[in-house]
Each structure stands twice: as C-alpha cells, then as structure tokens.
Amino acid sequence: MTQRIFNQEMSPDSITAGKLELPLAPSSEQGKVKAWSEPVDMLTYLPAKPDTNPLFLEKRVYQGSSGRVYPLPVIDSVSTKPEMRSWQAVHIENEFLRLMVMPEIGGRIHVGLDKRTGYDFFYRQNVIKPALVGLAGPWISGGVEFNWPQHHRPATFMPVEVSIERSDDGSVTIWCSDHDPMARMKGIHGICLHPGKAYVEVKVRLYNRTQDTQTFLWWANVATRVHEKYQSFFPHDVRFAADHAKRAITEYPLSKGHYYGVDYAERARNGVPVDELPSQFIPDGSYPPNDLGWYANIPVPTSYMIVGSREDFFGGYDHSEDTGTVAYANHHISPGKKQWTWGNHEFGYAWDRSLTNSDGPYIELMSGVYTDNQPDFSFLAPGETKTFSQFWYPISEIGTPDLANLDGALRLETNLQNVTVHVQVTSDRPASRISVLREGVELAAWDADLLTTKPRHFHSAVDGAVDALEVRVSQSNNVFMRYAPAEIVPVEQPDVATEPPLPQDVISSDELFLNGLHLEQYRHPTRAAEPYWLEAIRRDPGDSRSNHALGRSCMRRGEFERAEAYLRTSIARLTKRNPNPGDSEPFYNLGLTLRYQDRTNEAYDAFYKSTWNAAWRGPGYLRLAEIDCTRKEWAKALDHLDRSLLAEGDNLNALNLKAVVLQRLNRSDEAAALIAQVRSLDPLDETSRFLQSGHAPSDAQRQIDLAFDWMRAGLLEEALRVINEDVPDHFDGGSTLRLYLRADILRQLGREDEAKATSLHAALADPSYVFPNRLEELLLFQRVIAENPVNAHAYYYLGNFLYDRRRYDEAIAHWERATEFDPVFPTSWRNLGFARFNVKHDAAGAVNAFAHARALAPHDARIAYEQDQLWKRIGTPLEERLKNLLDHTDLVEQRDDLSNELATLLNSTGHPTRALDLLLGRSFGPWEGGEGQVLTQYVRSNLLLAKQALNDGKASTAVALLELAANPPQNLSEAKHLLMNLSMIDYWMGIALAAAGDTARATCALERAANHKGDFQQMQVQSISETTYWTANALCELGREREAANIFHSIDGYATKLESETPKIDYFATSLPAMLLFEEDLKERQNITAQFLHAQAQLGLGNKAQAKHLLEEVLAKDRAHSGAIDLLATLASEEG
C-alpha cells in the first residue's frame, strides 16, 4: 500500500484545493474545535429570478413521487456566463478535519477535508454551477446535501438560518434551520466536530409543527469524486440492491442480469462490448465488468439502494489515493444505503460538464433515515419530533473495510495462511489489543497504541483455515471493534414491487384502504388514493378506515363539510359497538374540521375524545389548550399543555404556548426558564426567540406561520406584532399575504378603520408570487371576498389555492371572477387557459384565454412558450407557429425550451440550416428528466442537411454532416445515452459513404445500424420504437432482406398491439417530462404512434402508397409529428 505521511496540522499553503481557497481560522479561535463565519468568493453561474406564474404540475413525476411544486415559484434557467460571487460560509475544524458549510445553499456541507492527508472525503466543488435538477429548479452537486421531507429537498437552493453552538465538552455545532416551504414543517441539522475525534456528526431534529399528520423521508446525499479506481463498499451481508420503488432488483455486487437496460450478465461472460466502452475512466481489468461497486463499470445513469443489511456502515474508497469515506448510522432507523451515478459514458460526462467546470465526475453515497428507498416515506404525527445522528469519517491506507463503526474501521486481509489486520481509529486508543481468534482461541495478538493520526497494519502467519477467523480490537478489555465473517447472514432476495390493481379489481376492502394509504403516503404522482377508498365505501358505506381517510383528504383540500360527513360516518361505525374505540384519530380530525368551520364548542368535545387514546394525547391536548387560551382560561390551558407534553415532550409549539400561559399567570421566572429550555432544544426556534427578544422571523412566510399559531390560541396582539415587522421579499408573495393577514387581525381586534386602510393597501399590493397554500389562507381569502366582493386579486389567489387542491371547477369560477373585476391582469387569463383545456376540454376557450394573457404580458417568455405548446397541442399550422416565434425572437432567446421549439419548427418547415445555426449559437442548460430534446433536433438538422446533400450529389458533405450528428457539441449540454438508438445516423452514414465510394466503411456503418436493438425514450428502455425502422433498412442495404422483413413485420405487429391495448402511465416512472403542461388523450397519442409505426412497416415492405396514406393520416391528427413530416419529405424526394 502507498505509504502516507500524516501531520496533526497542515501548513497554511496546503489548505487550498483547486480554485477555492479556504481561509485560516481567526486568532480568536483558540479551542481544539474552531468555528467561524467568513465569506468565500466562488465562480458562480447565477440562477434567474423565479417565474411569477404559478405552476401546478399535478402529474409531474419527480424522483418517483409527486413533482408538485406549488406553492413554490419555479426557476427554469441558469446563467451560462459565470461571475465571481461572495457566498456566506461557516467554517469548522478540529485537529483532523476541516469543513465548510453554505447557509445560502440549503446549509449543505460544501467541503470536507482530511487535514492529515489532504484528501477531500466529500466532493469539493470549486464553482457554484447549478442545473435544473431540484424540485423548484436549481441544484448543485458535491459536498453533502440534506434532503427532507422529500428528495431532492424543496429548499435545497434556498437560504437557511445558521448559528454556532459551543458545548462544555469542547464540541462545536453549526446549526442550520430549514422551515420547509411546502408542508411548513421544521427541520434543523447540526454539523458537529468534537475535539480529538476524526468524524463528522450531523445531529438532526425533524419537527412536525403543523396540526396534521405529514409524511417525510430523510436522505443525506454525500458526493465523492470518482474515476476508474473508485469503489463503493457495503457490508458483506449485502446480496441485492433495489431500484427506485423496488421496481427492479439486481444481485450485488455482481449483477447477473439486466439492470437499467445494461446486460451485465453478458459483460461478465464476454467483457464490455466494443461499442459500449467508455472514452474515459477505462477499467484496467482488475475487477469484474459486472461489479456494480466500481463506478467505471456503470455506463448509464443508475441508482441502487441496498436492501435489508443489518450493518451500520458503507462508503467508498479511492484506490489511487488509498483513501476513502465511511458513512455510519444506526441501521434500525437508518436502513437507507444508496449509490447514484450519472454513468461512465458520454451521457454522464455531459452532466459532469453541466455541474462543474473541471472537478470531474462524482457519485452520490446517500444515507437514508426512516427510509430505505426513493420513494419511501414515513409518518410524522402532529407535534412529533424525530431526532437522530449520522456520522462520516475519512479513512486511508486500509482499503475497503470489512467492518466500520463510530470507533473506527478494519479490514481483514487473508492470503493462504497469512493474515493482515488493517485498523484505523477515529480517536486515540492507547494500550489497545488487536486479536485474531478461531472458535474463541487467540491465534495472534498485538498490543499497540492506536492513534487517530496513523492507520496500523498487523501481520501474522496463522495455521489452518482462515475463513472462520474472528478479529477483535479492544481497550481495557472493552471490545470496540469485532469482525467475524463466519457469523454473517446473507440478506435474502426481496420481492420486486408490484403495481396495485385498479380499485374495481381489488378483492377486499382492507386492501382497498391499504392501497389508497400507500398511494397517499408515498405521494404517488399519477394515481390517486381516493378512488380506492370510494370503492371501499361503495361496497360498505360505513367502512370506518376508508371513511376516515376520505374525511382527512377532504379536510386537506379545505372541503370541510364533506370532510365532516365522512368523519362522522367513520366514528359512527367505530362506536357502534364500542363507544371507546382503539383508534381516536377520526375524533382528532373531526375536531380540526369543526374548528376550521368555527364550531369551537363541538371541536372541543371531539379533541377531548381523541385524548382517550395515547397516540393522540399530545396533539389533542394541545388543540384543547389553544381553545382554552382563546377563552382566557389560563389554568385549564396549563393543565392541558402539561398533559400534551407528557405525551410529546419535545413539541416546541406546546412548550412555547406554555411559556405564554405561564406569563399570563404571572409566573414569569418559570416562563423564562421554559423559553431557555426550548432554545437549548432548538437554538433557531423562532417562536421562543420572539418570546425572549421580541424579534419576529426574518422571512415573511415564517412570520405568517407564527402569526397563525398565535391566532389559533387567540393571541391576536402577539400575531399582530409578528407580522408588523418588515422583512425583505424573497419571491414568495409574503409581503402581500402579510397585509391581508394584518387587516384580518385588526378586524378581529375591532380596529375597523385600520383594518379597512390595510385591506385597501392589500388589494392594491403586488400579486407576484402570492400562492396561498395553508388552510388558514383559504379561510382568510374567503373572508376577504366576503368583505370586498370585487377584489379581483383575492379571487385569483383563492383560485390558485383551489386549483392546487384539485377543486378545479371552483378554481375556474374564481379565476373567471378575477378576470371580470380586473380584465388586465394576465396571470388569471393564463391560469384559465390551462384550466379550460385540461379540465373543461375547451380548446377554443383556452386559446382565447392565452390570447388575452399574451396581449397583456407581451414580454412574458413563459406565457409565450405555453401559448405555443397549446397551439401545438390543438394542431395550429406549423407556419403560423413559426411566424409567431420569429416575430418574437426576443422572447425565444430567453428560454431554452422555446429556442428548441423554434428549431423544431424550422426543421419541420424545410429550414434545417437555420435550425442548426440556432442550436449551435446558444448555450443550453440541462434539465434532469428532459434530456434528449435538444439533441434530437440537433441530430435531425444534420440528417436533413445530409439527405439534401445526397440529393445534390455531395456525398462527402453528407458524410461530414453525419459525423457532426454523431458527435454533438458541448453547448447543447446533452450527449447520447448509451441505450439511445441512433441507427438512423449509422444508416444514412452507410448510404453516404457508399455514394462517396467508400464501400468498406459504408458496410461497417450499415452493420452498426443493423445491430442496434431497442431504444431509450422518455427515460425508459423500449424494445421497439420509431428508430427500429432504420435497423431494418440497414439490413436491406446489406442484402439481408428476410431479416429486414421480419423486423418490419415485428414493427407492424407491435403497432397492432398498441392499437388494441389500453394505454396507462407507467406506475413506477421516476420521470415523465412529457406530462407537464397540456393534458393529452393517452389513447389518441398511442394510436398516432401505432399509425406511424404501421406506416414505417408498410414503407419497409414496399407498400409506398399505403405508407404515404398512413403518414398523411398521422399529420391530420398531429401536424407537428416530426417523424411523419420527415418520412413524407423523403418519399417526396424519392418520387422526384
């Protein structure tokens, strides 16, 4: 192994890597753990301002679950020109490790440096180069990203509050507070270094500060730099790994079949096919080509999540540097162990370039808590807090460990009858003993000082078999590491997940309820839970669980009367035989529903009944205490709060409200002590800070949360003080929402004159980014409209809320009223355009609405894009669409998607040169899940020009163009996916080379085309697609007509099969970029695809007239079908 020199402290000059310079600790930092805030300057590609138009995206698929983004505004572009930007950074270091945290980018760890070796054990980004990967847009790679309550975290590129806590034991924690902008829960993670410890601890508190049960997952996303010598390692009990949603299972580490479309079994037998060899990071043959532990073996974007390991560690090892990274966490609550890679091939390299300038590829080694998959959500009850810690540390000189825990890592190396024990510890362990045993008998032992600064290696000859050895590492007879390979129990093969049957096909009511619960819990993007519960109550109208689930669902949508009916039906069944049922959650949710209806006395009774069961004592008693406070019954409130806290002692809302109650009871010292207790639990808790110092949250949306908390308890003056404090606008509509809320509070306080003045101010305030999402905001705007029935913006805001909750007809009615009272506000018209098309199926009405929106917002590039997509969807002539875009090139230049659409239209209308010029003249940004769209038009432009050159007798020009088509330029930010079928390029290359007289190369090109199998479309592997036609054509050119005819018949048969099948959305899809804007009849689209495939088959079989007729029918149904356009053009050129 490489000998490495360790130093306790690195020289100042060495604390620099690449272009990012880490500042030295200030002289005031004298402890073993130093922490301070100091900005760093980094080359930055800045995201654009968020779009002011709300995006609902009800069926967007994101990371396998719902990609719904409302109420967040979306950023859909990033600058292609970098600039130096100063970023707030918090630095922390001890004797061994150095970290840098970025509060402005989600509180992520940006740098993790092992000072002893100079190794970045977390991937260090030397630029800030976001790409459109995040839920709401920008996301950066590298470091450690903390994801919750979904992946990727909604606030991944948003700022967090930060504080530095210094503990009596010398440890220092950088606390980062994330107030989830969607569900309004509170998460806080503390990045901690301890003196004398060579590990990073991340302390996490996840708190459901809302009144409703929420779902969540937690994934800490560690990136590490990789190459052909980088290997991931997992515990030795691991035998299998799962894909997203466990839709596929593969053996691990040696994959024995197909995974992500790659035939790893074939690779194991015969090596990597020549045409699949990577151009970089080429394996040296020292490891099997089907070993998924090695980055270099995986050619396509791939996730795998370890299944069922009983161990607490995993990580990655850089064999070229002889260093690595260990992740450690309690597997009982942290079963998640995942690797993700973009893949070691051209597609992955393009993403590497899009996310960094020169730092190279990375993989993600993710640690999941309360989750083992994506998606895999757990529940968080109202007021519940979950706390846990995760740990990481660097290792070196020991290779991939067989065992790792918080004390260190070890590897047992055996060679015939020789053994070597490699040990590295995370804190000094003087006078340790390292023992090798067999069946309890010590065969070899060493006494040694194990130091954090130096890995140790112990060698011995051992008689007899080595497979039953045991290694123990102990200090003062306390064994702190033990590895016994013979005791490892391999994980059994898990079942592959299956798609639930449709509601009418489910056998039992129990399964109907559970299937619905699963869909709801896992936030399924394209299948709703409610039909399962409705089917259950169709069979049994009193079904308690499904009625409760429907009631809760209606409550979350703000349909309180419907919710009440379902909940009372549930309770009636539960209490028919037993007035004291084992589950009191329906009573609790009935209490919420009644409180939202301002029926406080009834709600009080329901909440009290919910407290009869232990599970709901905490939330139920808190809700009772809030009502007590509205009645100024402070003693009763105190009693109920104490009872609530007995059930959930970390409920910060209950603790803070108790402090207020104690103040009202003139017990100020106790209140102050309680506030201090809360501050110790969460040093960034904003409610206790407000009570302690009077400082309101620094963010308008968080002010609104706190104000609603106070209002529930009748503390109107406190609520008013919170929202009276001005804060900067963060593109979240908070300033306008605060005005409406202030007016509402003033009205409840009886200050009518001030309320009216504030209401007028609110009605005239900027409507940008006002996307209501809380149930309290639904009630607020209902009151606003009742007070002022001609407030156009209030109708618009309420329409946004209702549409997001899928109360479509009511949303449309509100937007219609908004346009009636303010006909010049474009966003109401734009929203109506979507709703009329997607809900009412009123194409003419949608066109009219978008015409209004475009006229009123002529400089809004998004609306221009959406209008063009609507025109495309309804079959507007291509020339009309083209003219519209050419008349507004200033808008086209603002958006990648609009630019690509213009290129598509130019290609489709006979202007491929102009299309190619457009594509080559722009730097496109990548969008995860939307890859291939720009590349498709680039390839198409070159193909069209190559065919034109062939028609003009310019074979060499055609060859050059086809070579360009096969090698896209980097400005597209896209590259060919390994499984993407581009046989049309090889086919036409063969034709062009033959025309140029280069028969040998022509044959090779045609054989490449003929050997293509399958395709990769819509982020999925397809066995037959529109590109299969070119494989068959290549066979014809090679004289293999019978094989070609078989393929043409297969295409025809597949098309017939498509026509007979009922289409459905892939239940397990992880990304569906086509399902974003205007809904489409899936059967109609499938039939169009089938008809085009029939046309290809008929053309290949020699039936040109029939093929032409079919292609014309395709264009009659879809004028923009590029395949039909191009194939008809080819036919026309052949006819002369």
- Give the model confidence (pLDDT) of 418-456 as tens digits: 999 999 999 999 999 999 999 999 999 999 999 999 999
* Percentage of the chain lying above the pLDDT 90 cut: 91
Count of Cβ atoms closer than 10 Å to residue 419 Cβ = 20
Q: Tell me, what's the pLDDT at 930?
A: 81
How far apart CA 971 and CA 990 sit, in angstroms, is 27
Asked if residue 617 belongs to a domain, the reply is: no
Confidence of residue 1013 (pLDDT cuts 50, 70, 90): confident
Q: Are residues 941 and 1037 in the same domain?
A: no
Does the pLDDT value for residue 462 go beyond 90? Answer: no
Q: Are residues 959 and 1025 in the same domain?
A: no
How far apart CA 147 and CA 369 sit, in angstroms, is 10
Confidence of residue 1039 (pLDDT cuts 50, 70, 90): very high
Q: Is 416 left (phi over 0), alpha (psi -120 to 50) or beta?
A: left
In this structure, what token pair is assigned to residue 775? 């149930």
Confidence of residue 1020 (pLDDT cuts 50, 70, 90): low
Q: Are residues 206 and 156 in the same domain?
A: yes
Q: Tell me, what's the pLDDT at 887?
A: 98
pLDDT averaged over the chain? 95
Q: Are residues 779 and 897 in the same domain?
A: no
CATH number of 119's domain = 2.70.98.10
Confidence of residue 16 (pLDDT cuts 50, 70, 90): very low
**Quick one: average pLDDT of 132-158?**
95
**450 lies in which domain range?**
401-487
Better-predicted residue by pLDDT, 311 or 1080: 311
CA angle 97/340/176 to nearest 5° reads: 45
Domain end, chosen from 372, 395, 418, is at 395
Please give the C-alpha separations between residue 656 and each of 129, 625, 709, 714, in angstroms, as whole numbers. 41, 12, 10, 14
How far apart CA 685 and CA 177 sit, in angstroms, is 8
Q: Are residues 227 and 354 in the same domain?
A: yes
Does the pLDDT value for residue 674 go beyond 70? Answer: yes
Lowest mean pLDDT among 10-19, 118-127, 163-172, 877-886: 10-19
Residue recorded with tokens 């009276």: 724
Asked if residue 429 belongs to a domain, the reply is: yes
How far apart CA 630 and CA 715 sit, in angstroms, is 7
**Quick one: average pLDDT of 932-941?**
96
Asked if residue 568 belongs to a domain, the reply is: no
Q: Are residues 384 and 410 in the same domain?
A: no
- Give the model confidence (pLDDT) of 536-591 as tens digits: 999 999 999 999 999 999 999 999 999 999 999 999 999 999 999 999 999 999 99
Q: Tell me, what's the pLDDT at 9?
A: 37
Comparing C-alpha atoms, which of 258, 426, 332, 325 is closest to residue 123?
Answer: 325
Q: Tell me, what's the pLDDT at 898?
A: 98
Q: Are residues 136 and 171 in the same domain?
A: yes
Q: Tell me, what's the pLDDT at 917?
A: 98
Domain count, the chain: 5
- Give the model confidence (pLDDT) of 781-808 as tens digits: 999 999 999 999 999 999 999 999 999 9
Q: Are residues 388 and 407 in the same domain?
A: no
Q: Tell me, what's the pLDDT at 726?
A: 87
Q: Are residues 409 and 369 in the same domain?
A: no
Largest CA distance in the chain: 99
Domain end, chosen from 487, 521, 540, is at 487
The answer to whether 432 touches 447, Cβ cutoff 8 Å, is yes
CATH number of 1088's domain = 1.25.40
* Upstream peptide bond of 459 is cis (omega within 30 degrees of 0): no
Confidence of residue 928 (pLDDT cuts 50, 70, 90): confident
Asked if residue 1040 belongs to a domain, the reply is: yes
How far apart CA 279 and CA 263 sit, in angstroms, is 19
Q: Are residues 205 and 157 in the same domain?
A: yes
List, in sequence order, every beta strand (DSSP E) within 266-353.
Answer: 302-306, 313-318, 323-328, 336-341
Output the CA torsion 277→278→283→289 (10° steps): -50
Domain end, chosen from 341, 373, 395, is at 395
Q: Tell me, what's the pLDDT at 604?
A: 99
Q: Tell me, what's the pLDDT at 57?
A: 87
DSSP H/E element including 699: none
* Percentage of the chain lying above the pLDDT 70 cut: 97
Residue 498 has φ and ψ, to the nearest 5°, of -120, 155
Does the pLDDT value for residue 10 go beyond 50? Answer: no
Confidence of residue 835 (pLDDT cuts 50, 70, 90): very high
Q: Are residues 123 and 221 in the same domain?
A: yes
Asked if residue 178 belongs to a domain, the reply is: yes
**DSSP-assigned letters across all residues of 364-378:** EEEEEES-SSSS--E
Count of H helices and E strands in the chain?
36, 43
**Quick one: average pLDDT of 205-231?**
98
**Quick one: average pLDDT of 960-983?**
95
Asked if residue 964 belongs to a domain, the reply is: yes
Q: Tell me, what's the pLDDT at 3?
A: 32
Confidence of residue 7 (pLDDT cuts 50, 70, 90): very low
**Quick one: average pLDDT of 185-195?**
99
Residue 1015 has φ and ψ, to the nearest 5°, of -160, 170
Does the pLDDT value for residue 611 go beyond 80? Answer: yes
Q: Tell me, what's the pLDDT at 1074?
A: 58
How far apart CA 862 and CA 901 sit, in angstroms, is 13
Confidence of residue 17 (pLDDT cuts 50, 70, 90): very low
3-state DSSP helix/strand/coil % of the chain, to nearest 5:
40, 20, 40
- Give the model confidence (pLDDT) of 319-368 as tens digits: 999 999 999 999 999 999 999 999 999 999 999 999 999 999 999 999 99
Q: Tell me, what's the pLDDT at 1?
A: 29
C-alpha dihedral sign at 688, 693, 699, 703: positive
Please give the C-alpha separations between residue 214 and each of 286, 382, 798, 825, in angstroms, as whole numbers. 48, 8, 23, 35
Does the pLDDT value for residue 13 go beyond 60? Answer: no
In this structure, what token pair is assigned to residue 634? 């402070």
The answer to whether 595 touches 603, Cβ cutoff 8 Å, is yes
Count of Cβ atoms closer than 10 Å to residue 496 Cβ = 13
CA angle 137/138/144 to nearest 5° reads: 125
CATH number of 430's domain = 2.60.40.10
Asked if residue 670 belongs to a domain, the reply is: no
- Give the model confidence (pLDDT) of 46-104 as tens digits: 999 999 999 998 888 888 888 899 999 999 999 999 999 999 999 999 999 999 999 99
The answer to whether 148 touches 155, Cβ cutoff 8 Å, is no
Q: Are residues 1046 and 924 in the same domain?
A: no
Confidence of residue 5 (pLDDT cuts 50, 70, 90): very low
The answer to whether 16 touches 698, Cβ cutoff 8 Å, is no
Asked if residue 228 belongs to a domain, the reply is: yes
Q: Is 999 left (phi over 0), alpha (psi -120 to 50) or beta?
A: alpha
